[in-house]
Amino acid sequence: MDDGSPHELSAAYALDALDGDDLRAYEEHLAGCDRCREDVASFRAAAAALAYDVDLPSPPETLEHRILDAARAERPNVVPLPRRWAIPAAALAAASAAAAVVLGIWAVHLSNSLDHQRQIRKDQKGLIDVLSDCKPTPTKGGSGSVCVAPTRKAVLAVDGLEGAGKSKTYEAWVIAGKRVEPAGLFQGGAGRRYLQLTKPVPNGATVAVTLEKRGGVSAPTGAILLKAEVKPS
Amino acid sequence: MISLRGRGRGRSQTTVRELAHLSDEAVLALIARSDEQALAELYRRFGRLAYGLAFRILRDDALAQDAVQEAFLGVWRAAGRFTAERSKPSTWLLTLVHRRAVDLVRREERRRTEPLPPEAEPAGAEAADEAELAARRQTIRAALRQLPPEQREAIELAYYGGYTQSELAERLGQPLGTIKSRMFTGLARLRDALGEDARGQSGLV
């Protein structure tokens, strides 16, 4: 990302021609860039078409058995994908189709290989864990949603919240009864931003966002910019 | 071709006969429910293509098999999440194959030869599949021919050769910005030339 617009890198990304810091920087950009996600999706389809311009020896017949054996051996160790997944995913996607694309992109990475999985940064893994099985509640004020997993871990997704600027930060709060706990900081900015909340969200609690001074505060001082009351499931 | 027919594993597995007419999306949905036959069906549809791509990048049978296996296992593990994605199953699978092959080739020094030109070597696929593949090959070749040579070169070296943009800049003696721009403009043209093939839900890609 040393020169030019990061948008242009969507092609290099789709061709897997980014690596190291370039790749990490672009993926960070991608998470908040609707246009890039659209470009990446269509570029990936175009890139995949290149696979058809290949006519080389057929795979050995044993490969199919090898794959099926490995799949069979592996399944018992895999946490079954929850049936509920399709529902929150669809709901999230309805709120922003971009969210689904991001999930798809992450899924690609997740499933790439075991050693790659290990490299995935913890925060992304946390997000995926929550987003793979959670119930979304749209926010009031601002555009976004809070998605709460059965474990009560939660992810806040906000769209197009103006950047907080250098001296300020957005701060998320979990409000349960009279308890108000700080639950993470984020900077906002164009596109969709995700924050995995640092506190569990019990049923009936409200997740709210205020603008605070840089570094965050222990009790909210700013006005509530958006909030979501998480109804019992 | 499919040999793992209905094993009694306490779960009602579909049979090959039931799967042949299903869409790729439906096959993926079955894979998400741990249906081994559905995974076999996906392999029947795309295994050869996947291997051909991996082999072209890696030039090595064992490594190509590894890449293909990783990609199919990736699908096996994450098919449930795919329902949320808007691309076609084949695009997803080939993306996995490509990324894995590129990961492997970057670890090996073997890549440092020229990418292989495409070869017209007939393989023992069924006639209908063969015709379908041949039609798609013609489409993509025609689309590639429309590109200015320098854009085509950047895309082919990146996709088939596994070169990063920085490696391409060095190799071609061009500023990085030029390489980025060639890849972007070229791939955008390719996408437009492929039209519905690239974006639509129909077809194999």
State whether B18 and B84 are in the same domain. Answer: yes
Task: Give residue B180's pLDDT.
Answer: 95
Q: A91-95, A209-213, A228-232, B132-136: lowest mean pLDDT where?
A: A91-95
* Mean pLDDT, residues B29-41: 88
B144 → closest Cβ in A15, A53, A93 = A53
Interface A:B, Cβ pairs < 8 A: 263
> How large is the ipTM?
0.83
On whether any CB of chain B is under 8 Å from the CB of A221, the answer is no
Between B66 and B26, the more confident residue is: B66
Q: What percent of chain A has pLDDT over 90?
A: 30
Task: Give residue A125's pLDDT.
Answer: 61
Give residue A134's pLDDT band: very low, low, confident or very high (50, 70, 90).
confident
CA distance A210 to A208: 7
State pLDDT tens for residues B186-197.
Answer: 999 999 998 854
State whether B107 and B133 are in the same domain. Answer: no
Question: Where do the structural domains in chain A lie, given as residue ranges?
Answer: 1-78, 135-229
State pLDDT tens for residues A163-191.
Answer: 888 889 999 999 998 899 999 998 887 77
CATH of segment(s) A1-78 = 1.10.10.1320
Q: A127-136, A159-168, B35-44, B176-185: lowest mean pLDDT where?
A: A127-136
Task: Give the residue carrying structure tokens 């919240």.
Answer: A161
β-partners of residue A181 are A174
On whether any CB of chain B is under 8 Å from the CB of A9, the answer is yes
* Mean pLDDT, residues B167-184: 95
Domain with residue B138: its CATH number is 1.10.10.10
Q: Is the whole-model pTM more than 0.90?
A: no
State whether B96 and B23 are in the same domain. Answer: yes
Task: Give residue B32's pLDDT.
Answer: 84
Residues A67-99 as b or e (16 or more Cβ within 10 Å = b): bbeebbeeeeeeeebeeebbebbebbbebbebb
Q: Return the CATH class of domain A135-229.
A: mainly beta
Instruction: From chain B, pick out residues whose CB is under 8 angstroms from the CB of A8.
Output: 180-181, 184
C-beta atoms of B95 and A44 within 8 A: yes
Q: In the predicted model, is pLDDT for residue A42 greater than 80?
A: yes
Beta strands in chain A (DSSP E): 135-138, 143-148, 154-161, 168-176, 179-186, 189-196, 206-213, 224-229
Task: Give residue B197's pLDDT.
Answer: 47
State whether B133 and B76 are in the same domain. Answer: no
Q: How many domains does chain B have?
A: 2
C-beta atoms of B118 and A54 within 8 A: yes
State pLDDT tens for residues A12-36.
Answer: 999 999 988 999 999 888 888 888 8
- Of B53, B85, B111, at which residue does a domain stop? B111
CA distance B80 to A136: 18
Q: In the predicted model, is pLDDT for residue B3 greater than 90?
A: no
Task: Answer whether residue B41 is part of any domain.
Answer: yes
Between A133 and B17, the more confident residue is: A133
Domain with residue B88: its CATH number is 1.10.1740.10
Q: Which residue of A has its CA nearest to B76?
A: A71
Instruction: From chain B, pick out residues whose CB is under 8 angstroms from the CB of A52.
Output: 49, 133, 136-137, 139-140, 204-205
State whether B137 and B193 are in the same domain. Answer: yes
Task: Answer whether residue B137 is part of any domain.
Answer: yes
Give residue B127's pLDDT band: very low, low, confident or very high (50, 70, 90).
low
On whether any CB of chain B is under 8 Å from the CB of A225, the answer is no
B39 → closest Cβ in A55, A71, A107 = A71
State pLDDT tens for residues A184-213.
Answer: 998 887 777 778 898 999 999 999 999 999
C-beta atoms of B97 and A51 within 8 A: yes
Task: Answer whether residue B119 is part of any domain.
Answer: no
C-beta atoms of A52 and B140 within 8 A: yes
Q: Residue B46 is part of which domain span?
A: 14-111
Q: In the predicted model, is pLDDT for residue A88 greater than 60?
A: no
Distance from CA of A176 to the nearest CA of B (A): 31
Task: Give residue B22's pLDDT.
Answer: 82
On whether any CB of chain B is under 8 Å from the CB of A11, the answer is yes
Task: Give residue B41's pLDDT.
Answer: 93
Q: In the predicted model, is pLDDT for residue A105 greater than 60?
A: no
Q: In the predicted model, is pLDDT for residue B122 greater than 80?
A: no
User: Is A32 in contact with A99 (CB distance < 8 Å)?
Assistant: no
